[in-house]
Homo-oligomer: A and B are copies of this chain.
């Protein structure tokens, strides 16, 4: 049993988190999913979904870390306390997955420096301006560099999560999971129809 530890914060983007957790949750006994925010308690997504969380301090120092994006990241990239704690969690995790502007926050910890990564294509200029030491990839549904998986915007997180499952548990498991949730998996990380929207 592996842990999937989901990092939440006010104004997270609902599907950034909920797409991947649907996929990890459908795997059944392989992953135990837990929800965290810096101080615990209720956090609200941009879509007004109010979710109960545990504090970062109670997270087991292992497992897979999932960092969604959303409008909340605009302030988090300037929050030294949050970034410091996130860096600790990311260093402790076996693998780190970001969706959308989740990679902007992770980039501000320095952990993506000299690594290949991607992000939301509609916010690409903003994200890449935050830390030019990251090797930002403009055309990718998702990017893998070592134990860091970063995806493009919102829905791309589901494709990346399935790609991660494929890498860790095998292609057949990923394919069956997509089938079980009647999802048409865009399984080639290099096919990115939204890359052309970067200004």
Contacts and interface: CB of A to CB of B under 8 A. Distances in A.
A155 B184 contact: yes
B122 A180 contact: yes
A25 B15 CA distance: 10
Nearest to A46: B25
Contact of A14 (B18, B48, B52): B18
Given A25-B14, A180-B122, A194-B179, A47 B33 contact: yes
Nearest to A155: B183
Interface residues of A, number: 39
Copies in the complex: 2
Interface string A145-172: 0000000111110000000000000000
Contacts of A21: 14, 47, 49
A18 B120 contact: no
Which has the most chain B C-beta neighbours within 10 Å: A15, A183, A186, A193?
A: A15
A2 to B, nearest CB: 14
B15 A19 contact: yes
Nearest to A32: B48
23 contacts: A14-B18, A14-B21, A14-B25, A15-B22, A18-B18, A18-B49, A19-B19, A21-B49, A22-B47, A25-B45, A33-B49, A35-B49, A35-B50, A51-B51, A52-B52, A122-B180, A152-B182, A154-B181, A154-B182, A154-B183, A155-B181, A179-B197, A184-B193
Closest 7 CB pairs of A and B: A25-B47, A18-B18, A153-B182, A15-B22, A50-B52, A155-B183, A154-B181
